[in-house]
């Protein structure tokens, strides 16, 4: 009897997790396609692989040139 309740409760939990996962996957797909990129993100490089390498190098150089914030003491 206890095994039957254990199996039924496990099936209920699996069904709830499946429903929640389906809702989350359905909600995330349209929002990601229509919303613009959040501020602070970098656009993916475009062009030939050589151009992509150059764009990444320029982005890294620009980041390295920025001053590091010093902690207040």
In which residue are the tokens 């150059």 written? 54
Distances (CA, A) of 66 to 21, 50, 59, 62, 63: 42, 25, 11, 7, 6
- 3-state DSSP assignment of residue 31: helix
pLDDT of residue 13: 96
Give the pLDDT score at 37.
Answer: 57
For residue 45, the model assigns a pLDDT of 58
What pLDDT shows up at residue 31? 46
Radius of gyration for the chain, computed over Cα atoms and rounded to the nearest angstrom: 24
Q: Please tell me the predicted confidence (pLDDT) of residue 38.
A: 65
C-alpha to C-alpha distances, 44 to 9, 50, 67, nearest whole angstrom: 46, 14, 24
Structure tokens at 32: 């990601």
- Collect the ranges in the chain with pLDDT lower than 50: 31-33
pLDDT at 12: 96
pLDDT at position 29: 53
């Amino acid at each position: 009897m206890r095994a039957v309740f254990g199996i039924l409760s496990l099936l209920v939990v699996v069904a709830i997790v499946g429903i929640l996962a389906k809702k989350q996957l359905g909600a995330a797909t349209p929002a990601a396609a229509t919303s613009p990129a959040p501020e602070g993100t970098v656009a993916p490089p475009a062009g030939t692989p050589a151009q992509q390498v150059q764009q990444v190098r320029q982005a890294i150089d620009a980041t390295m040139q920025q001053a590091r914030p010093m902690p207040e003491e």
